[in-house]
Structure 1
Amino acid sequence: MAIAAAFGLALLVAVLLSALAERSALSLPLVFLITGFVIGHGGFGLVTVSSSGDLVRRVADVALFTVLFTDGMRALAPRDRTLWAPPIRALLIGMPLTAAVITLLAWGLTDLPLAAALLLGVILSPTDPVLVSGIVRRSGVPRPLRHALNVESGVNDGLALPAVVVLIAVLGSRDTPDVGTLLGELAGGAALGAVGAAVLAGAARLPVLAVHQRLRPLAPVAVATACYGTAHLLHLNPYLAAFVAGAMVAKTAPQMCGGFQPLGDHLAELMKFLALLVFGALLTGGMLADVPAGGYVVALLALLLARPASLLLSFLGSEFARRQRLAASWFGPKGLASVVYGLYVVQAGIPYASTIFAVVALCVVLSVIAHTTTDVLVARRFRQDESADAGAGPGQRPP
């Protein structure tokens, strides 16, 4: 019950400070991360959370699913084809480059062998939709940037999964999993999401059914819950199922989405805060002490060099506006997706598991601090630019 009490108090503090956070660098996610650390073994030891237990993984799993479903509902909205080029470039060029740079850094700066360094690079290559939502949902952020970050963070978790599983098997000296099986899990998750949306769309057209306006927002909740449970029962990828289901529900059954967006956003926000609190309770001084000296450098450069340089290279030759390129390159937060994959490594019991997870945890902590305290500053700059553009006369450019 200590977690429930701490979460309630932290949530109350966050609500009371929300207006201040909206116009300053105050980070509400950081409030929950610090609260978790204080009540965990890193602080007063009021709760016991283990990286080998099930609580952290389940909470992170549900949080990821919830955020991906709600963000997926916005993904297919743009009809302008030019809006799709940046996220595709980020996924097909930027993400592999990010993994490669982190791999080389980890291989050269720590005692990790190449396979373990590659596993670390793959785990830290996806961006996290839970933290990306902090910039995506702020007013003033241009639509192309919003769409690029939203789609990229919604898809790259699933793309990293096959490599994570294969590398865990290689390091564990077990038979390498069938690549076809892994691809089947990804394709099956996407198909499950599409089927769930199709069932809802078909049912909504039946004349014998009548949905009361008051309960209409619960229809997407029903689809999401069914997809989540089915994906785990059938061992399909739940994250792609969430993103595809959200996108297809919005596209094929828009009449059923009325009123859901505020509810979905609130649910996603609650799960994000709870996951950060539980993750904070997992952190200890001993865990951070397991990070080798070179690991601190790797974690910093993963945020300051690997992601920015890789994304800027991926955008070369594109029509993406310069300032939006810079913002997209910076906002590559590492979060719950990396934590989930790091926990898989720990639970697999492979060599170097503790070092890999410790570096992942350090990188996530640094990312939460860095990205959740700068999103409001970036959004404010875009709003200022928008105001300046509006005030400039025809043919004029604001200073």
Structure 2
Amino acid sequence: MEIVAVFGVVLAVAVLLSSLAHRSVMSLPLLFLVAGVVLGNGGFGLISVGHDGDLVRHVAEVALFVVLFSDGMRVLAEQPRHAWGPPVRALLIGMPVTAALITLAVWGLTDLSLVTSALVGIVLSPTDPVLVSGLLRRDEVPAALRQTLNVESGINDGLALPGVLVLIAVLGASPTPGPWTLVLELLGGVALGVGGALVLGLLIRLPGLVIRPEWQPLAPIALAATLYGTGHLLHLNQFLAAFVGAMTLAALAPDLCSAFGPFGEQTSEMVKFFALLVFGALLEPAMVTTLTLGAFVVVAVTLFLARPAGLLLSLLGTRLPVDQRLVAAWFGPKGLASVLYGLFVLRAGIPRAQEVFALVALVVVVSVVLHTSTDVLVARRLRAQEPDEADVSSGTRDR
């Protein structure tokens, strides 16, 4: 219960500082991460979190699911439906290029094997919807850019999971899953999300069934709980199910999504902050001592070269203005998805798993510091008016 008490105190401090943080470079997510580090395993030890326990894995998993479900509600509700080109290109081109560049950096700068380096590359390739949401909720962010970052961060977590599982199996930690098994997990997650939302959408249209206004926010919660539990029971990708299911429900029942909106945003903020506190408590100074100088260079390559190069390449020829492309290239924070997959690696017991997790954790910590401290600056730079649909449809010239 110590961690709950600490979370309550830090949350109260964050609430009191929320207005200051909104108009300055102060980072509330960073506040929770620092509190976890200071009070956790590497600090005063008030919060005890074990690497081999289930707390961190469950917290990271639930946080990802909740944030993906909440963000999926807004994809169709707030964004232009025709602007799907950039996020699809970011997923199909930007993410593989980013993973490949990180793989080459790890392989060339450390003594890890090529397969292990590829595992690190895939673990660090997704962007984190939990941290991206801090920028997306600012009014200054144009709709097209919000669409790109929201969809990319919402889907790439689930797409990275099969690669992580395959490489862990190749390294000998578990039986190699067949390709059809992985495909079924992905497609099954999508089908589960769409099917669950369709069933709920049909039920609320049955004659004689009317949802009272005060009960409307509970309908999406019921869907989320069903998707999460069913995904686990059937071994389907519950992250894709969350995002796709929320998008489908938003298209079928916008009134339910509007009613769920305030609660969903507050809930996702709560789980995000709690997850960062737990992750911070997990970190110890001894992790850094296991890393070589090349590993620190990998951190810089991951954040300043691999992600920007992958995104800028994927967005060539799109209608996004150059300044928005640069923002998308920079704002690709690494967070709970990478932590969760890093824990998979740690628990799988592959060779040098501790070193892999330490490298992943270092990248995440530096990313949290940099990206949560620059979202206000990025938003101010985008303060110019969002282009209207006519501008988007006619194309915007690169400046």
Please indicate the TM-score interval, normalised by the length of the shorter structure: over 0.9
CA distance in 1, matches of 2:236, 2:23: 41
Corresponding residue for residue 395 of structure 1: none
Q: Does 1:16 align with 2:19?
A: no
Deviation at 1:196, TM superposition (A): 1.5
Three-state SS of the structure 2 residue aligned to 1:259 is helix
**1:193-204 aligned within 5 A:** 193-204=193-204
Q: Does 1:214 align with 2:235?
A: no
CA distance in 1, matches of 2:376, 2:196: 36
Which deviates further from its counterpart, 264-273 or 70-79?
Answer: 70-79
8 A Cα contact 2:80 2:144, kept in partner: no
Q: Does 1:289 align with 2:289?
A: yes
Q: 1:80 to 1:195 in 2, by over 3 A?
A: closer
Corresponding residue for residue 94 of structure 2: 94
Matching residue's letter, 1:223: L
Which deviates further from its counterpart, 331-340 or 190-199?
Answer: 190-199
**1:347-386 aligned within 5 A:** 347-383=347-383, 385-386=384-385
Deviation at 1:2, TM superposition (A): 1.2
8 A Cα contact 2:201 2:253, kept in partner: yes
Deviation at 1:139, TM superposition (A): 1.0
Three-state SS of the structure 1 residue aligned to 2:258 is coil
CA distance in 2, matches of 1:305, 1:79: 30
Which consecutive aligned stretches of 4+ in structure 1 deviate over 6 angstroms post-superposition?
Answer: none
Corresponding residue for residue 48 of structure 1: 48
Deviation at 1:79, TM superposition (A): 4.6
Deviation at 1:174, TM superposition (A): 4.9
Deviation at 1:316, TM superposition (A): 1.6
Matching residue's letter, 1:86: P
8 A Cα contact 1:228 1:242, kept in partner: yes
Three-state SS of the structure 2 residue aligned to 1:281 is helix
Deviation at 1:188, TM superposition (A): 0.8
Deviation at 1:39, TM superposition (A): 1.5
8 A Cα contact 2:42 2:283, kept in partner: yes
**1:216-255 aligned within 5 A:** 216-255=216-255
Matching residue's letter, 1:322: V
1:137-196 deviation line (CA, Å, top 9, x unaligned): 111100011000000001111111111111000112654210110110111111111121
Q: 1:39 to 1:318 in 2, by over 3 A?
A: same
Corresponding residue for residue 342 of structure 1: 342
CA distance in 1, matches of 2:186, 2:76: 19
Corresponding residue for residue 260 of structure 1: 260
Matching residue's letter, 1:160: A
Corresponding residue for residue 320 of structure 2: 320
CA distance in 2, matches of 1:315, 1:48: 44
CA distance in 2, matches of 1:157, 1:5: 31
CA distance in 1, matches of 2:202, 2:291: 52
Matching residue's letter, 2:192: L
8 A Cα contact 2:40 2:49, kept in partner: yes
Corresponding residue for residue 184 of structure 1: 184
Q: Does 1:271 align with 2:268?
A: no
Corresponding residue for residue 205 of structure 2: 205
Deviation at 1:208, TM superposition (A): 2.2
Matching residue's letter, 2:385: E
Matching residue's letter, 2:52: S
Corresponding residue for residue 306 of structure 2: 306
Corresponding residue for residue 4 of structure 1: 4
**1:80-229 aligned within 5 A:** 80-81=81-82, 83-172=83-172, 174-229=174-229
8 A Cα contact 1:100 1:118, kept in partner: yes
Deviation at 1:276, TM superposition (A): 0.2
8 A Cα contact 1:123 1:341, kept in partner: yes
The normalised TM-score by structure 1 is 0.95
Three-state SS of the structure 2 residue aligned to 1:49 is coil
Matching residue's letter, 1:37: V
Corresponding residue for residue 332 of structure 1: 332
Deviation at 1:234, TM superposition (A): 1.0
Deviation at 1:80, TM superposition (A): 4.3
CA distance in 1, matches of 2:228, 2:81: 31
8 A Cα contact 2:174 2:348, kept in partner: no
Matching residue's letter, 1:386: Q
Task: Identify unmatched segments of 5+ residues in structure 1.
Answer: 390-398
Three-state SS of the structure 2 residue aligned to 1:373 is helix
Task: Identify unmatched segments of 5+ residues in structure 2.
Answer: 389-398
Deviation at 1:202, TM superposition (A): 1.1
CA distance in 2, matches of 1:312, 1:10: 38
CA distance in 2, matches of 1:19, 1:79: 30
8 A Cα contact 1:204 1:256, kept in partner: no
CA distance in 1, matches of 2:276, 2:47: 15
Deviation at 1:256, TM superposition (A): 2.1
8 A Cα contact 1:197 1:253, kept in partner: no
8 A Cα contact 2:36 2:279, kept in partner: yes
Which deviates further from its counterpart, 20-29 or 198-207?
Answer: 198-207
Corresponding residue for residue 393 of structure 1: none
Corresponding residue for residue 27 of structure 2: 27
Deviation at 1:292, TM superposition (A): 2.0
CA distance in 2, matches of 1:315, 1:185: 29
CA distance in 1, matches of 2:151, 2:351: 34
Identity of aligned residues (%): 60
1:6-44 deviation line (CA, Å, top 9, x unaligned): 100110111111101111100000010011111211110
CA distance in 1, matches of 2:56, 2:354: 16
CA distance in 1, matches of 2:183, 2:331: 28
Aligned-pair Cα RMSD in Å? 1.6
CA distance in 2, matches of 1:356, 1:277: 21
